Amino acid sequence: MKRYSYEEFYSDTLKLARQLEDKKFDAIVFAARGGSFLAAALAYKLNIRTMYAINCTGYSGTQKNSCTVLSKMPNIDENHKNLLFIDEIVDSGETLELILNAFKQDFKNHSVYSVALFQRPTSKISADMFLHNSDKWIEFFWEDFEK
């Protein structure tokens, strides 16, 4: 298991923001709850004021669910064509694949660029940008709030 600290998160957020600053995004879409901390931090750094949450559940604690459940897609403004999708980790790739397929179906005229802090080498799909490749279980500092 790897403990991911606030200090690492802060540094990684700045790295991602630097790598994303030349791209133009109209809004952020994030996977709640895991992507919410990174989404808020990048929204501030990139000065993106519009955010949409997608509720999806792939895990119960450390146990993977038999399937990833995606709730209703948000009602995204038609003017928000260039979207930044954020999650903390691409684990199996099921959540990212499910969300990208939903966007292709429901928002055909939108482009989606995906970002994650961590990517599993065994994932069936990769984020467009990620910082760390890890096969270890990641314990994020914000999970302390669950205890």
- pLDDT for 67: 47
Least confident range of 69-73, 84-88, 131-135: 69-73
Question: What is the pLDDT of the chain when averaged over all its residues?
Answer: 90
CATH 3.30.470.20 given to domain 2-146: no
Q: Give the span between the Cα atoms of 46 and 42, in whole angstroms.
A: 6
Binned at pLDDT 50, 70 and 90, residue 33 comes out as confident
Annotated domain spans of the chain: 2-146
Laid out side by side, the sheet with 82-90 consists of 63-70, 51-60, 27-32, 82-90, 111-119, 129-133
Mean pLDDT, rounded, for 43-58: 90
